[in-house]
A and B are shown apart, each in its own frame.
Chain A
Amino acid sequence: MTSTTIKIIKPHSERSFADDVADIWAHRELLMVLVRREISVRYRQAVIGLLWVVLQPLLTTAIFTTVFVVFVRIPTQEKSYPLFAFAGLAVWQYFNRVVTEGGGSLLANSALITKVSFPRLIIPLVSPLAAALDSLVAISALIVIAILVGASVSWTIVFTPVVIAAVGLFGYSIALWVAPLNAVYRDVGIALPSIMQVAMYMSPIVYPAELVPERIRWLYELNPIAVMVNTMRWVVLGTNAPPIAGLGLFLVLVVLLFWGGAQLFRRMEGNLIDRI
């Protein structure tokens, strides 16, 4: 920071988006500190620490494998259902955490935002960044397991960070809507877990898209969550690429959600602490 800075505090409606972006940049160090706090607190006092990042989707994969492969006997495109499910769950768990934690972040940090001034847009940005590490570890574990069980791993795995970033950005865009609304209307936070559960079962995370009737499958595959999950499977496991239309729609949706979310967030943040 420079030694002479002039700051003008204006009514919130008079602030420009450029002001906010510059403000976030000026506070990048704080963002990193908050991300580091999130990461180091999460597995503090947990004996096996970061191993949980891998164990969680692994356990869930085991459950779904038992249910779908042993009991229900669903047909899968892949030879290995566990790899298929693990990839889906790793992506889903990251997305779910970004939306849920990001969406609850303003409320969870109300002690901070009522006492210290910094751009509020930073707050829901902490979860996507902190959880990205977990996500990267989980996907790396997936790759290792895939190699161990002899599945073919495509060169496209170099794109996994890009996919993780896209998932994080999508989650952040949604969190921008959820966080301020949730701070004022608690209904949002209460409804969110149910909505996320519906979204999970409406997407090919633990079961393959082939189970969906062919008539509506095209629609089903446009679902942005399906696109994210299938893209991850595509880059890591070399399964079928998601439809171009789905990718295009995903991009449009991210842009719209991000833009709209940023507008809403900025409109609400000015007087948020008076209403929280």
Chain B
Amino acid sequence: MSKAIEVRGVSKEYFRGVHHRHTRFSELLTDWGRGLIGGKPRNNVARREVEPFWALKDVSFTIERGQVVGIIGRNGSGKSTLLKIIARITAPTTGEVILNGRTGTLLEVGTGFHPELSGRENVFLNGAILGMSRSEIARKFDEIVDFSGVEAFIDTPVKRFSSGMQTRLAFSVAAHLDPEVLIIDEVLAVGDAEFQKKCLGKMKDVTSTGRTVVFVSHSMTTVTSLCNQCVFLEHGEIRAHGPSHKIVDLYFSDGAGSGPALGFGKEAARPGNDIVQLCGARVVNSKLEGVETIRRDEIVGIEMTFEVLRDGHRLVPNFHLFLQDQYAFVSSPPDSNEVLGRGTYRSRMWIPPRFLNNGSFVVGVAVSSTAPVTIHFFEQDALRFHVIDDLFDASRNDYIQEFPGVVRPDLRWDVVQEK
């Protein structure tokens, strides 16, 4: 495999506050004047307290030909800056980027569209702006118009188009851009849902044709659905670079107080009382391996180990699931009438596939008794795990936006014709 993109020690400096020594033209002029008469320029820098900061610090990575790479990171992590540099919109302060192959960038849909021009003229205009040759656009013209679904209006000025129609036409042009290396910002978040689906499908096609794609996104669902590799930026530096699912795990676990596993080594630190104490808890997959991120169509197990210190109590282990502060459910073993003797126990709850909605779940771990009601321990934010979805899953019925709710079970439906 050869290299498609090589980023070598790229740094980018910005000035917070004002952008430059002189923000006002008068300052530039007076400083020039001072220079002419031999005086020293007034120090505007100190006066304004300009602090330079590095949006990117010595970023290096390589993207092989044919890889589909997501660039992820939180706001201000430098991913937009990196994208702008790779897209050649702004220059790096130091370092260099080597692009090997014809490169197309797509940071916005419909760049350069002019409202007075007809749809046809705008297709040629936008195509040229995106780097297509006139003959190339002419060749693909019918296909572009066909994909957009606005054939009937193609000779109407686009100012008469609805915004949805404009977006469709613009995306169609972009979708027919045919470079070896494609650099895309989150342009998918446009248009109506049906068209979004069409676009995502097109993206999937593009990514499966062996082309190199760099994709910047906030949406982990989109990233995991499309990209096989991820670059995770944090404070302008590369935090991690590797297979998407691993990087997404890391992204989710970052900054969260709790992780996918919890263990208490020393007895003194264990939550609980003189009857029962929590030893540990974790999230597992079907192979009983500890995991943090799980696909929605996989089974997920949550287990806890606890030690019973005194005989004679009816103990009910229970798990409480939350999705973004919404209480999803509490669950306990259905027939826990047994009185547990002294010893260490492991209890495991299995959540069936295709039950939870996608998102970051927080698990509270507790053991309680019912008569009298006693809570022996309740670790509120004991565990955290992430359910990710496949945008191309059939159960989505081509709907690619977020589903509301904490659960999204596959239920039985009957749809029959009555009349």
Q: Write the residues of chain A forming the contact surface with B, with a CB cutoff of 8 angstroms.
A: 1-12, 29-30, 33-34, 37, 40-41, 44-45, 111-118, 181, 184-185, 187-188, 270-271, 273-275
B133 within 8 A of A: yes
B273 within 8 A of A: no
* Nearest A-chain residue to B127, judged by Cβ: A33
In the complex, identify which listed stretch (B109-117, B214-222, B235-243) lies at the interface while the others stay far away.
B109-117
Known: A7-B99, A185-B25. 7 other contacts (CB 8 A): A3-B102, A8-B98, A37-B117, A44-B117, A111-B111, A117-B88, A185-B28
With contacts A187-B26, A273-B89 known, is A117 near B19, CB below 8 A? no
Given the complex of chains A and B, what is the CA–CA distance between A8 and B102 in angstroms? 12
Q: Please indicate the chain A residues that have their CB under 8 angstroms from the CB of B107 in the complex.
A: 115-116
B98 and A44 contacting across the interface, CB-CB below 8 Å? no
Q: Please indicate the chain A residues that have their CB under 8 angstroms from the CB of B89 in the complex.
A: 113-117, 273
A10 and B100 contacting across the interface, CB-CB below 8 Å? no
Encoded as 1 (CB less than 8 Å from any A CB) or 0, chain B from 389 to 406 comes to 000000000000000000
B97 and A44 contacting across the interface, CB-CB below 8 Å? no
Encoded as 1 (CB less than 8 Å from any A CB) or 0, chain B from 154 to 198 comes to 000100000000000000000000001000000000000000000
Residue tally, chain B, CB below 8 Å to A: 47
B105 and A1 contacting across the interface, CB-CB below 8 Å? no
With contacts A29-B133, A40-B117, A41-B116 known, is A187 near B94, CB below 8 A? no
Q: Please indicate the chain A residues that have their CB under 8 angstroms from the CB of B102 in the complex.
A: 1-5
Q: Please indicate the chain A residues that have their CB under 8 angstroms from the CB of B86 in the complex.
A: 9
Q: How far is the CB of A188 from chain B (nearest CB, A)?
A: 7
Q: How far is the CB of B96 from chain A (nearest CB, A)?
A: 5
Q: Please indicate the chain A residues that have their CB under 8 angstroms from the CB of B99 in the complex.
A: 5-9
Q: Please indicate the chain B residues that have their CB under 8 angstroms from the CB of A116 in the complex.
A: 89, 105, 107, 111-112, 129-130
Q: Please indicate the chain B residues that have their CB under 8 angstroms from the CB of A275 in the complex.
A: 19-20
With contacts A11-B93, A11-B94 known, is A37 near B20, CB below 8 A? no
Q: Please indicate the chain A residues that have their CB under 8 angstroms from the CB of B84 in the complex.
A: 273
Given the complex of chains A and B, what is the CA–CA distance between A113 and B95 in angstroms? 22
Q: Which 3 A-B pairs have the closest CB atoms?
A: A117-B88, A185-B25, A187-B25
Residues 72-111 of B at the A interface (beta carbon under 8 Å): 84-103, 105, 107-108, 111
* Nearest B-chain residue to A26, judged by Cβ: B131
Q: Please indicate the chain B residues that have their CB under 8 angstroms from the CB of A113 in the complex.
A: 89
A29 and B128 contacting across the interface, CB-CB below 8 Å? yes
Q: Write the residues of chain B forming the contact surface with A, with a CB cutoff of 8 angstroms.
A: 14, 19-20, 22, 24-26, 28, 84-103, 105, 107-108, 111-112, 114, 116-117, 121, 124-125, 128-131, 133-134, 157, 180
B90 and A274 contacting across the interface, CB-CB below 8 Å? yes
Given the complex of chains A and B, what is the CA–CA distance between A2 and B179 in angstroms? 11
A8 and B128 contacting across the interface, CB-CB below 8 Å? no
Q: Please indicate the chain A residues that have their CB under 8 angstroms from the CB of B26 in the complex.
A: 187
B92 and A9 contacting across the interface, CB-CB below 8 Å? yes
Given the complex of chains A and B, what is the CA–CA distance between A44 and B114 in angstroms? 12
Q: Please indicate the chain A residues that have their CB under 8 angstroms from the CB of B112 in the complex.
A: 37, 111-112, 116
Q: Please indicate the chain A residues that have their CB under 8 angstroms from the CB of B20 in the complex.
A: 184, 275
Given the complex of chains A and B, what is the CA–CA distance between A45 and B128 in angstroms? 24
Given the complex of chains A and B, what is the CA–CA distance between A112 and B114 in angstroms? 11
CB-contact partner of B128 in A33, A111, A114, under 8 A: A33
A33 and B125 contacting across the interface, CB-CB below 8 Å? yes
Given the complex of chains A and B, what is the CA–CA distance between A118 and B128 in angstroms? 11
B100 and A37 contacting across the interface, CB-CB below 8 Å? no
CB-contact partner of A1 in B90, B114, B124, B133, under 8 A: B133
Subset of 13 A-B contacts with CB under 8 Å: A30-B131, A33-B134, A111-B111, A113-B89, A115-B108, A116-B89, A181-B25, A184-B20, A185-B28, A273-B84, A274-B14, A274-B90, A275-B19
* Nearest A-chain residue to B84, judged by Cβ: A273
With contacts A5-B102, A116-B129 known, is A273 near B134, CB below 8 A? no
With contacts A11-B93, A115-B89, A117-B87 known, is A30 near B105, CB below 8 A? no
A41 and B90 contacting across the interface, CB-CB below 8 Å? no
Given the complex of chains A and B, what is the CA–CA distance between A188 and B89 in angstroms? 24
Given the complex of chains A and B, what is the CA–CA distance between A117 and B105 in angstroms? 8
Given the complex of chains A and B, what is the CA–CA distance between A275 and B91 in angstroms? 13
* Nearest B-chain residue to A12, judged by Cβ: B91
Q: Please indicate the chain A residues that have their CB under 8 angstroms from the CB of B98 in the complex.
A: 6-9
* Nearest A-chain residue to B157, judged by Cβ: A44
Q: How far is the CB of A19 from chain B (nearest CB, A)?
A: 12
Q: How far is the CB of B180 from chain A (nearest CB, A)?
A: 7
A112 and B91 contacting across the interface, CB-CB below 8 Å? no
* Nearest A-chain residue to B121, judged by Cβ: A40
Given the complex of chains A and B, what is the CA–CA distance between A10 and B98 in angstroms? 9
B90 and A273 contacting across the interface, CB-CB below 8 Å? yes
